[in-house]
Amino acid sequence: MGKPTGFKEIARKKDSETAPLERIRHWREFKIHSDEKERQSQGARCMDCGTPFCMTGHIVSGMASGCPVNNLIPEWNDLIFRNRWKEALERLHKTNNFPEFTGRVCPAPCEGSCVLGVIAPPVTIKDNECAITDRGWAEGWVVPRQPEKRTGKKVAIVGSGPAGLACADQLNQAGHHVTVFEREDRIGGLLMYGIPNMKLEKEEVVQRRVNLMAEEGIVFKTGVNIGHDSEWTAQKIRSEFDAVVLCCGATFGRDLPIEGRDAKGIHLAMEFLTENTRHQLDHRFNGSNPSLNAKDKDVVVIGGGDTGTDCVGTSLRHGCRSVVQLEIMPKPPLERASDNPWPEWPKVYKMDYGQEEAAAVQGQDPRHYLTQTKRFLKDDDGNLTGLEICGIEWVHENGRYMPKEKEGTTRTIPAQLVLLAMGFLGPEQQILQQFALETDSRSNVKAEHEKYTTNVPGVFAAGDMRRGQSLVVWAINEGRGAARECDRFLMGVTNLP
């Protein structure tokens, strides 16, 4: 620890952001990184505690506590304080293949379990991580790494999201010949099409990493939908490769089958976000909107989380007339509740970027808590016109909590576009059927954690399709773990971390 009294003397200072009313006029990243001296100062706040919970990566009360990839956080915090940035980057890359992704989109469970956070605002771990990796790219320290020798083994990875890319990176460095199959027209999966550009730049950040991996020898094939394409069947891919790792995500979105669901103007959130990003990339962010857009519409987002926030931010950039976000859960408290102690993830009220932008435009947080949709309203032509909603309370019945409508709270709100952001139910089933894979009670691929082996020899599964909808950083953890076990299967032993 370079400065033992740093956490006493220096206040927490996060990276700043472009003002909401300014940033909704473009699709660029809106974070403004602090200068080098400020980052060094923030690194000095790390206490290098005897038991650094920030890097544990445990599940506590069903939520991540600490970094799922076990980043060596106290080490690189100390190194940036000492102005040893290249060494900090080397430490960061020991555990995290893509810190430029997590430094931008991770919700930072590490900060939620920072020991300093017990008595003061936690260390700015996420901003420090992003500063290290961005410095590394700017200085030219991130260069292609060619494996010293090739094993002759061929591995197919299906899906190019964070799990698939992490798995590919690890297996390639182990010397295997790796081919990544992606059904979309661009590599990146969730990173490319599921997260809007203002949170994660596609060409400058995602494609930059993909290009580097291609230079390292990984083969990428786009427009290949395994399980659907007649050319690339499960049987063919198994016959042509020594092992297969499935990293297809949990892309089957939760629907809302209530009265009026057939109205025109109701879409799953990922359909909306994917079409928007594809359009922006195809048209070089020229200011035009895709065919599915929110311009001059009253938008209602049903559901919360990152996906709901992204729908709010995207709708505002389209030029919507209004945006409302409905959440069935109660409003979180301003401070940790007694049943949510450290080092659990703090379930406290906060405004993410989308809500901040909506508040700047509309004057208030767009979220309506403890609210449930009863039915969708439509006109004679089948076009969505609004929603009938009501307030609810959670009651304990038959051993579980259930939402119950509060009398006298029914009302209608206008809407010409509804975006369903209520989570995901698991992976799409056709590819699982083609590979004849067993599934668990949640319809995910049945593959034990830290083994990643399915019921089919030589076929592994990782990421959201194994564990269910989760964080980018958990997907990287899963991809690394699956690579380790795949390497062991191919070689009998493994040196992968």
| CATH number for 29 | 1.10.1060.10
The pLDDT score that the predictor gives to residue 233 is 92
d(Cα 413, Cα 14) in Å, to the nearest integer? Answer: 37
Same domain for 161 and 92: no
d(Cα 357, Cα 422) in Å, to the nearest integer? Answer: 21
Same domain for 211 and 119: no
For residue 171, the tally of other CB atoms under 10 A from its CB is 29
d(Cα 164, Cα 171) in Å, to the nearest integer? Answer: 11
For residue 162, cis peptide bond before it (omega within 30 degrees of 0) = no
DSSP state of 264: B
What is the DSSP pairing of strand 417-420 with strand 31-32?
unpaired
Task: Judge contact between 494 and 487, C-beta under 8 A.
Answer: yes
Total domains present in the chain = 3
Residue 207: which domain range? 154-251+425-491
Same domain for 214 and 187: yes
**Unique residue bearing structure tokens 């020899």:** 457
pLDDT at residue 1 tops 80: no
Domain-located, residue 259:
no
The pLDDT score that the predictor gives to residue 222 is 97
pLDDT at residue 400 tops 80: yes
d(Cα 478, Cα 445) in Å, to the nearest integer? Answer: 13
pLDDT over 70, % of the chain: 100
Task: Judge contact between 274 and 191, C-beta under 8 A.
Answer: no
Helices (H) and strands (E) in the chain, counts: 17, 18
For the stretch 360-397, pLDDT in tens is 999 999 999 999 999 999 999 999 999 999 999 999 98
What is the DSSP pairing of strand 58-60 with strand 63-65?
antiparallel
d(Cα 324, Cα 304) in Å, to the nearest integer? Answer: 11
Side-chain-facing half-sphere of 372: CA atoms under 13 Å: 14
The pLDDT score that the predictor gives to residue 228 is 84
Same domain for 82 and 101: yes
Same domain for 166 and 230: yes
The pLDDT score that the predictor gives to residue 150 is 97
Where b means 16+ CB within 10 Å and e means fewer, 142-170 reads beeeeeeeebebbbbbbbbbbbbbbbbbb
In the predicted model, what is the mean pLDDT of residues 96-101?
98
Same domain for 470 and 408: no
Same domain for 431 and 414: no
pTM for the full predicted model: 0.96
Domain-located, residue 415:
yes
Task: Judge contact between 125 and 104, C-beta under 8 A.
Answer: no
Same domain for 277 and 392: yes
Domain-located, residue 236:
yes
Same domain for 122 and 86: yes
pLDDT at residue 2 tops 70: no
What is the DSSP pairing of strand 411-414 with strand 459-461?
unpaired
Domain-located, residue 147:
no
DSSP state of 181: E
d(Cα 199, Cα 310) in Å, to the nearest integer? Answer: 9
For the stretch 62-73, pLDDT in tens is 888 999 999 999
DSSP states along 382-404:
SBEEEEEEEEEEEEEETTEEEEE
Same domain for 397 and 327: yes
Both tokens assigned to 167: 């798995």
The pLDDT score that the predictor gives to residue 398 is 87
Evaluated on CA atoms 4, 6, 7, 9, the torsion sign reads positive
Domain-located, residue 74:
yes
User: Which residue, 79, 110, 139, sits at the end of a domain?
Assistant: 139
DSSP states along 305-342:
HHHHHHHHHHHHHHT-SEEEEE-SSPPPPSS--TTS-T
For the stretch 402-458, pLDDT in tens is 999 999 999 999 999 999 999 999 999 899 999 999 999 999 999 988 899 999 999
| CATH number for 453 | 3.50.50.60
Domain-located, residue 169:
yes
SS3 content of the chain, % helix, strand, coil (to 5): 35, 20, 45
Domain-located, residue 257:
no
Same domain for 307 and 407: yes
Strand order in the sheet with 219-222: 219-222, 177-182, 154-158, 243-246, 459-461
pLDDT at residue 290 tops 70: yes
Domain-located, residue 260:
no
Whole-number mean pLDDT of the chain? 96
d(Cα 497, Cα 481) in Å, to the nearest integer? Answer: 8
User: Which residue, 370, 394, 420, sits at the end of a domain?
Assistant: 420
In the predicted model, what is the mean pLDDT of residues 340-349?
94
Identify the helix (H) or strand (E) that includes residue 65: strand 63-65
User: Which residue, 420, 437, 452, sits at the end of a domain?
Assistant: 420
Same domain for 164 and 196: yes
The pLDDT score that the predictor gives to residue 227 is 80
The pLDDT score that the predictor gives to residue 304 is 92
d(Cα 179, Cα 381) in Å, to the nearest integer? Answer: 48
70-75 long-range contacts, CB within 8 A, separation 24+: 70/95, 71/95, 71/96, 71/110, 71/129, 73/46, 73/110, 73/123, 73/125, 74/1, 74/46, 74/48, 74/49
Identify the helix (H) or strand (E) that includes residue 220: strand 219-222
Residue 424 DSSP SS3: strand
Q: What are phi and psi of 192, to 5 degrees?
A: -85, -50
For the stretch 257-285, pLDDT in tens is 999 999 999 999 999 999 999 999 999 99
Residue 278 DSSP SS3: helix
The pLDDT score that the predictor gives to residue 193 is 97
